[in-house]
A and B are shown apart, each in its own frame.
Chain A
Amino acid sequence: MKAWIALLLSWLIPGSGFMLYGKWARGATHLVVIGVTFGLGLALHSSVAWPVWSIRSPSFNLINNFTFITQMGGGLPAIASFIASSDPGIVADSLLGRFVGQPSHFNYELGSYFLIIAGALNYFAVGNFYDRFIHPRMTLPQSGESQTAKEA
């Protein structure tokens, strides 16, 4: 499989890259950890929302732009949440309706942190997958090695 397809899959479905290379336990762990965190964010009535990108707009807020970019790291669930929150009326009766957030809800901001963390963790996981299987330029230090090196 081509590297960019594996990386794309790894982003869309957290942990899938590791599973493709036979690391089932590691991939499944990433999937569960990121999936549960994203799910908790949705349960707190949050969603991935499209920010204002024009710097001239009065409602422009750079934090919202970074939040969006990080939340989109969640892959397919993030895309689903983004589509659902773009037009909640259309998706209300479908499966996507479960991904619609309620910006007026008191837990919306807290849930947003869960989505940010889920997205960031998937970016880390994709980066780790790249380092281990696509372009392994260096070996990862094992626990205690750096301490041993300092002592030596």
Chain B
Amino acid sequence: MTPQGIVYLSSIFYLTGVICFSISLNENEAVGTILRETVRRWIKFLILTAIIGGIVLLASL
């Protein structure tokens, strides 16, 4: 993988994570709940992103 690819992949992980964390922070009070909800959302978000990425890859072949 090229350095630019690593930057893009890292950005996906960071941005999806920060969005999920922020939403969970707004909706919950307890630290444990916030972290649990963040991880739950993050996994869903990453799976959805991977599916969209796969579709785009197939469409571009």
- Indicate which residue in A33, A106, A143 contacts B33 across the interface (CB closer than 8 Å): A143
* Residues of the A chain whose Cβ atoms lie less than 8 Å from the Cβ of B29: 142
Docked pose: A26 CA to B31 CA in angstroms: 10
Docked pose: A33 CA to B7 CA in angstroms: 19
B28 with A33: CB separation less than 8 A: no
Report A's interface with B, CB cutoff 8 A: 26, 29-30, 33, 37, 40, 106-107, 110, 113-114, 117, 121, 124-125, 128, 140-143
A49 CB, min distance to chain B CBs, angstroms: 20
Report B's interface with A, CB cutoff 8 A: 4, 7-8, 11, 14-15, 18-19, 21-23, 25-29, 33, 36-37
Q: Would you call the interface of chain A mostly helix, strand, loop, or mixed?
A: helix
* Residues of the B chain whose Cβ atoms lie less than 8 Å from the Cβ of A40: 14
A-B interface contact total, Cβ < 8 Å: 44
B28 with A143: CB separation less than 8 A: yes
Q: Would you call the interface of chain B mostly helix, strand, loop, or mixed?
A: helix
Give the one of A107, A113, A117, A140 with max B CB within 10 A. Answer: A117
B18 with A117: CB separation less than 8 A: yes
- Indicate which residue in B8, B22, B36 contacts A121 across the interface (CB closer than 8 Å): B22
Docked pose: A50 CA to B52 CA in angstroms: 31
* Residues of the A chain whose Cβ atoms lie less than 8 Å from the Cβ of B27: 140-141, 143
Give the one of B4, B7, B25 with max A CB within 10 A. Answer: B25
Sample of 4 further A-B pairs with CB below 8 A, known A30-B25, A37-B18: A117-B15, A117-B19, A142-B28, A142-B29
* Residues of the A chain whose Cβ atoms lie less than 8 Å from the Cβ of B8: 110
Docked pose: A16 CA to B27 CA in angstroms: 18
Closest to A36 in B: B18
